[in-house]
């Protein structure tokens, strides 16, 4: 027999043995049952609102510069790329690059691939395992032991098939556990992408706000420098006292000192954006937009409360952990019951390859093994109790994630309302402070007011303007936070798939 014919015959024998074992395994598996609790997705909370009071239909005031009215669109789904609602091409580019190059997202993707590969590996236990073996050896048997004393070559080939019957669902519970773990990694990936997009948006708004605060402070420094120069000239000719000069110089130095922490904060937030984008701080080449370049979304989707638990990646991750804990209880329970393994082998040994698989050189075996745990020092039942405790912990963790999700949405809704009120108040304060400063300047030029009054009016205008800038940025940031609190737009990708 040549090697090609030998290989073909060997494969036919292996396939036949595997088909018989698979049919037998399927018959027994269908007759089996999975012990332990059966997982069902938890029901959503039976509430009709997120906070103590119903969400308003709209927030904001159309007359406020940089603000506007926002409609809360009940029942609307969050769009896939929700950050595009802010109307900034720079922000879109930043987030797209962050999603493509962030190490945290890459790590989450790799963990998902690992979990999916582990899941596929676990499904192999559903089927019989078949192994083929072949070998050749040179032997010489002792004459004293009954041999001829002449060296000879021995060829052997065999196929071994085994299958553990899943009578009590241990294998199925193992696959279910791996599936839940893969689901968990998937939701961690969705959560990582959502968190990354939200962080980039918030950092970009903060960067723009800090830049405007620096511009406002530098404008005050310029104004105070002019006043200081004027006070120095007036003191030199005896029109103003040394106290007036020192007061102006002191306020100028204080304003200049305020620039340093603003520069530090701006540099830090720019480094943060670079890292979020997967770049070195020295490589942050995408310029951030100005605060006025961001559009406050006029319509913001607001999911109904009953849908929130299906939209939040963190809640879905907690549900996957609950599923895994349920499967773990089933697996620990199945380990208490008997295991039945079917096995069979078919092989041949001959001194010449042409004689392999002839009737005179072949042998086979079929067997059934029963393994019933009897005494393991209490470890199996302890493992079951540990799994049940783990299920209780996962259940509590899931409930906590749901509570936190609703609190998160309620907080962001409150923040939007309070941000709108704060922005309106800061706008009025900034306008009033600007008018007051103009009036005090005019009075000072006519000699009707003192340096101290001028300095105080300048300080109030600076504080009001910075407060207005911060209020605008807060409203943008909390709008982004609401998109994130509602789970982002991953559902839209699911529809496309």
pLDDT of residue 31: 44
Q: Which of these, 189, 40, 74, 181, lies nearest to 486 by C-alpha position?
A: 74
Residue 343 has pLDDT above 60, yes or no: yes
Extents of the domains making up the chain: 42-128+166-337+389-496
From residue 381, give the alpha-carbon distance in Å to each of 138, 271, 332, 374, 393.
51, 53, 8, 11, 18
Tell me the CA end-to-end span of the chain in Å, nearest whole number.
53
Residue 29 has pLDDT above 50, yes or no: no
Specify the pairing of strand 70-74 against strand 299-302.
parallel
Average pLDDT, the chain: 87
Q: Which of 24-33, 369-378, 437-446, 477-486 has the highest mean pLDDT?
A: 477-486
pLDDT of residue 8: 54
From residue 26, give the alpha-carbon distance in Å to each of 15, 31, 128, 298.
16, 9, 10, 59
Please, are residues 86 and 311 in contact by the beta-carbon 8 Å criterion?
Answer: no
Q: What is the pLDDT of residues 31-85, one digit of tens each?
A: 457 888 999 999 999 998 998 888 888 888 877 877 789 999 988 889 989 999 9
Residue 389 has pLDDT above 90, yes or no: yes
Question: Which CATH code fits 42-128+166-337+389-496?
Answer: 1.20.1600.10
Q: Which of these, 475, 424, 418, 479, lies nearest to 73 by C-alpha position?
A: 479
Residue 20 has pLDDT above 80, yes or no: no
Q: What is the pTM of this model?
A: 0.84
What's the length of the chain? 497
Residue 470 has pLDDT above 70, yes or no: yes
- What sign does the CA torsion over 347, 348, 349, 351 have? negative
Strand partners, 136: 155
pLDDT of residue 493: 64
């Amino acid at each position: 027999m040549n090697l090609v014919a030998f290989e073909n015959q060997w494969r036919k024998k292996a396939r036949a043995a595997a088909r018989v074992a698979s049919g037998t395994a399927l018959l027994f598996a269908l007759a089996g049952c999975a012990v332990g609790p059966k997982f069902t997705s938890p029901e959503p909370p039976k509430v009709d609102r997120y906070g103590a009071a119903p969400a308003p239909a709209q927030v904001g005031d159309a007359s406020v510069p940089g603000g506007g009215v926002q409609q809360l669109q009940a029942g609307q789904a969050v769009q896939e790329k929700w950050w595009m609602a802010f109307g900034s091409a720079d922000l879109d580019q930043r987030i797209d690059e962050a999603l493509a190059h962030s190490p945290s997202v890459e790590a989450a993707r790799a963990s998902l691939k690992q979990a999916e590969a582990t899941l596929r590996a676990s499904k192999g236990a559903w089927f019989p395992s078949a192994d083929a073996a072949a070998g050749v050896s040179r032997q010489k048997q002792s004459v004293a032991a009954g041999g001829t004393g002449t060296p000879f070559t021995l060829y052997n080939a065999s196929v071994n098939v085994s299958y553990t019957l899943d009578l009590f669902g241990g294998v199925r519970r193992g696959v279910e556990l791996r599936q839940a773990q893969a689901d968990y990694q998937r939701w961690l990936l969705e959560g990582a992408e959502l968190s990354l997009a939200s962080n980039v948006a918030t950092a970009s708004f903060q960067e723009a706000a800090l830049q405007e605060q620096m511009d406002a402070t530098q404008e005050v420094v310029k104004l105070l420098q002019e006043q200081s120069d004027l006070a120095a000239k007036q003191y030199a000719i005896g029109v103003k006292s040394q106290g007036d000069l020192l007061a102006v110089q002191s306020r100028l130095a204080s304003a200049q000192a305020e620039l340093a922490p603003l520069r530090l904060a701006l540099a830090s937030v720019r480094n943060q954006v670079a890292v979020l984008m997967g770049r070195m701080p020295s490589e942050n080449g995408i310029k951030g937009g100005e605060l006025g370049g961001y559009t406050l979304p006029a319509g913001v989707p607001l999911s109904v409360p009953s849908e929130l638990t299906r939209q939040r990646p963190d809640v879905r991750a907690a549900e996957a952990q609950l599923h895994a804990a349920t499967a773990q209880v089933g697996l620990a329970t199945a380990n208490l019951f008997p295991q039945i393994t079917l096995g069979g082998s078919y092989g041949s040994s001959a001194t010449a390859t042409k004689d392999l698989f002839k009737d005179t050189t072949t042998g086979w075996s079929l067997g059934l093994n029963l393994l019933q745990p009897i005494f393991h020092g209490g470890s199996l039942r302890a493992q079951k109790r540990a799994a049940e405790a783990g299920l209780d912990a996962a259940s509590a963790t899931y409930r906590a994630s749901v509570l936190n999700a609703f609190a998160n949405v309620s907080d962001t809704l409150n923040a939007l309302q309070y941000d709108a009120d704060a922005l309106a108040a800061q706008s009025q304060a900034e306008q009033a402070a600007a008018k007051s400063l103009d009036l005090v300047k005019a009075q000072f030029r006519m000699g009707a007011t003192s340096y101290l009054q001028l300095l105080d009016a300048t300080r109030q205008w600076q504080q009001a303007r910075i407060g207005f800038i911060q209020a605008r940025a807060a409203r943008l940031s909390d709008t982004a936070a609401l998109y994130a609190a509602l789970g982002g737009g991953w559902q839209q990708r699911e529809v496309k798939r």
